[in-house]
């Protein structure tokens, strides 16, 4: 959860995001070429995505399914009737010189998602961000700039058409965001949703999720928006936040200096931590949209819509609310556990197997998470099953083993060794008649420490407890050991 911030009180930022999300289909939107990432340049191509004469596109049905499911998850109205359009523009990585997209009749409109922030006092804030539309479209190719002098600019460019025809949904937000923090949180929540749905991997470093920011600044109280500027080239959520914060300050400084803000597209320069002008922003009329003549209109039946709706999982926001209100978890624990669907499912299986929710949350968000980060693994790749985690927690709570014993054996448990085998012969000693002679032996073996304790250095109690635990290979029940040691020392 991110802390909310504000811009200078006399100005207000108006921010909206256009997010391009690559869909996780095996083939492209209008052809059978592979969508695999990392293939050699120009190997995942075909006549359709290259725009060769005489070819016809055919809509990949999985693209429609994923787009509708994303729209439903974003609380959108799904269009009973929609169509594709041609968006005309020339660019070297767009072979047809037009992009097949959706213009006036998109597949989904009028939705929202909820973001969660905290105020300066640490109180949670929930804010609903409107979704204007979600539409399907194809991606363009990729220009690879190269040459001998990369400092002053490339001397030539190569074109890789592997991305041409990759299926995308573009998700356009309402201008409801007011800061870089809110925008970054919106983008993160959007990625959580598409990952939960399984419709996209959301990997920004591979270009699967790309966000363009539209931002303007106006004096507080004025109804009219300021001149809108678009920012591109942001490859992380932190870059989105920093780019917006910079652009807000730049526009405020320009307004106060009496300069005119022009409608343009700017690039975020990560190295310089600033935006720079790229080109004057095009309007929709510049693209000369018209209906795509080679694709039939799309009609989604009620039966199909309800089938896809029934396949939606519980989404991150719903899980967070459920974990906090019904399981009593903190907002922090709920957020960490719901960040990834596989982690949430692991947690839910553990508590369904009898684990205490808070104890399971602690193990998953702390010890197990540390192991995953260190080994660069996902939770599905460890040998410790959620059922075995529940077994371990139950053993601790019933006094069969200690928390320290469980942590000591965790590497073995994570490798797949069962709790039965890991803790064989390791049950806690909970019988006072067995522990008492060991305590007596430890005290008798340390007369100097005993004298210091009885002369007022009561912190030495921990020393004696530690010696008993060491002598029993940590099998002595910690609570009982503390009680017996204190009783003997004060006798």
- Three-state secondary-structure class, residue 117: strand
Distances (CA, A) of 452 to 95, 439, 456, 489, 491: 86, 17, 7, 11, 15
**Chain segment 231-283, per-residue pLDDT in tens:** 998 889 999 999 999 999 999 999 999 999 999 999 999 999 999 998 886 66
Contact 230, 213 (CB under 8 A): yes
**Chain segment 401-428, per-residue pLDDT in tens:** 889 889 999 999 999 999 999 998 888 8
pLDDT at 5: 55
pLDDT at 210: 94
Taking all residues of the chain, what is their mean pLDDT, rounded to a whole number? 92
Q: What's phi and psi for 91, nearest 5 deg?
A: -155, 145
**Chain segment 297-350, per-residue pLDDT in tens:** 999 999 999 999 999 999 999 999 999 999 999 999 999 999 999 999 999 999
Contact 194, 21 (CB under 8 A): yes
**Chain segment 148-184, per-residue pLDDT in tens:** 555 456 788 899 999 999 999 999 999 999 999 999 9
Closest CA to 396 of 388, 383, 405, 408: 405
Q: First CA to last CA across the chain, in angstroms?
A: 52
pLDDT at 394: 96
Closest CA to 384 of 412, 421, 342: 412
Query: Tell me: domain 432-489, CATH 1.10.10.410, correct?
Result: yes
d(CA 145, CA 205): 18
Q: What's phi and psi for 316, nearest 5 deg?
A: -55, -45
**Chain segment 448-484, per-residue pLDDT in tens:** 988 898 888 889 899 998 999 888 888 888 888 999 9
d(CA 69, CA 125): 27
Residue spans per domain, the chain: 2-304, 314-422, 432-489
Return the half-sphere exposure (C-beta side, CA atoms, 13 A cut-off) of residue 397: 13
Angle between helices 461-471 and 432-444 (to 10 degrees): 120
pLDDT at 154: 74
Which residues make beta-bridge pairs with 276? 267
pLDDT at 281: 66
Biggest CA pair distance of the chain: 99
d(CA 403, CA 397): 9
Closest CA to 172 of 112, 220, 221: 112
Q: What angle do CA 76, 80, 83 make, to 5 degrees?
A: 95
d(CA 211, CA 204): 9
Contact 165, 49 (CB under 8 A): yes
- Three-state secondary-structure class, residue 324: helix
Would you state the structure tokens that stand for residue 90, as one six-digit string? 């020339």
d(CA 376, CA 440): 47
Map tokens 């391009």 to a residue: 20
**Chain segment 196-230, per-residue pLDDT in tens:** 999 999 999 999 999 999 999 999 989 999 999 99
pLDDT at 282: 63
- Percent of the chain beyond pLDDT 70? 96
Closest CA to 71 of 298, 325, 289: 298
The pLDDT of residue 24 is above 80: yes
d(CA 358, CA 370): 17
H or E element: which one contains 362? helix 357-362
Which residues make beta-bridge pairs with 114? 128
d(CA 261, CA 304): 47
Map tokens 């929540």 to a residue: 189
Residue 179: other Cβ atoms inside 10 A: 21
């Amino acid at each position: 959860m991110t802390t909310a911030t504000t811009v200078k009180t006399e100005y207000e930022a108006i921010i909206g995001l256009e997010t391009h999300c690559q869909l996780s289909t095996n083939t492209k939107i209008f052809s059978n070429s592979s969508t695999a990432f990392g293939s050699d340049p120009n190997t995942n191509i075909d006549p359709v995505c290259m725009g060769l004469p005489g070819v016809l596109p055919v809509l990949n049905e999985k693209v429609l399914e994923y787009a509708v499911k994303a729209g439903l998850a974003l609380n959108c109205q799904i269009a009973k009737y929609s169509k594709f359009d041609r968006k005309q523009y020339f660019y070297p990585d767009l072979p047809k010189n037009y992009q097949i997209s959706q213009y006036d009749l998109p597949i989904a409109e009028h939705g929202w998602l909820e973001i969660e922030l905290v105020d300066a006092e640490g109180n949670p804030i929930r804010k609903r961000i409107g979704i204007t539309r979600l539409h399907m479209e194809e991606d363009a190719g990729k220009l690879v700039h190269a040459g001998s002098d990369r400092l002053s600019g490339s001397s030539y460019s190569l074109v890789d058409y592997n991305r041409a025809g990759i299926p995308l949904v573009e998700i356009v937000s309402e201008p409801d965001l007011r800061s870089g923090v809110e925008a970054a949180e919106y983008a993160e929540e959007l990625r959580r949703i598409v990952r939960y749905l399984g419709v996209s991997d959301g990997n920004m470093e591979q270009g699967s999720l790309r966000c363009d920011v539209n931002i303007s600044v106006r004096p507080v109280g004025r109804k009219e928006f300021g001149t809108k500027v678009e920012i591109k080239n942001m490859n992380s959520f932190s870059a989105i936040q920093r780019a917006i914060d910079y652009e807000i300050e730049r526009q405020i400084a320009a307004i106060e200096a009496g300069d005119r803000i022009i409608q343009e597209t700017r690039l975020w320069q990560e190295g310089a931590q600033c935006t720079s002008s790229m080109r004057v922003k095009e309007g929709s009329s510049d693209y000369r949209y018209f209906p795509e003549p080679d694709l039939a209109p799309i009609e989604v039946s009620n039966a199909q819509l309800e089938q896809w709706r029934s396949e939606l999982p519980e989404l991150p926001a719903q899980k967070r609310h459920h974990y906090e209100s019904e399981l009593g978890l903190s907002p922090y624990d709920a957020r960490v556990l719901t960040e990834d669907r596989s982690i949430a499912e692991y947690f839910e299986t553990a508590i369904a197997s009898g684990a205490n929710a808070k104890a399971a949350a602690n193990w998953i968000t702390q010890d197990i998470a540390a192991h995953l980060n260190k080994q660069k693994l996902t939770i599905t790749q460890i040998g410790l099953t959620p059922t075995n985690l529940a077994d371990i927690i139950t053993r601790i709570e019933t006094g069969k083993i200690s928390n320290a014993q469980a942590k000591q054996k965790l590497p073995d448990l994570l490798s797949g060794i069962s709790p039965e085998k890991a803790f064989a012969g390791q049950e806690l000693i909970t019988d006072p008649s067995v522990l008492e002679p060991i305590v007596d032996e430890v005290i008798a073996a340390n007369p100097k420490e005993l004298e210091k304790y009885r002369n007022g250095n009561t912190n030495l109690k921990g020393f004696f407890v530690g010696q008993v635990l060491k002598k029993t290979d940590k099998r002595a029940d910690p609570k009982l050991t503390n009680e017996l040691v204190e009783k003997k020392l004060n006798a």
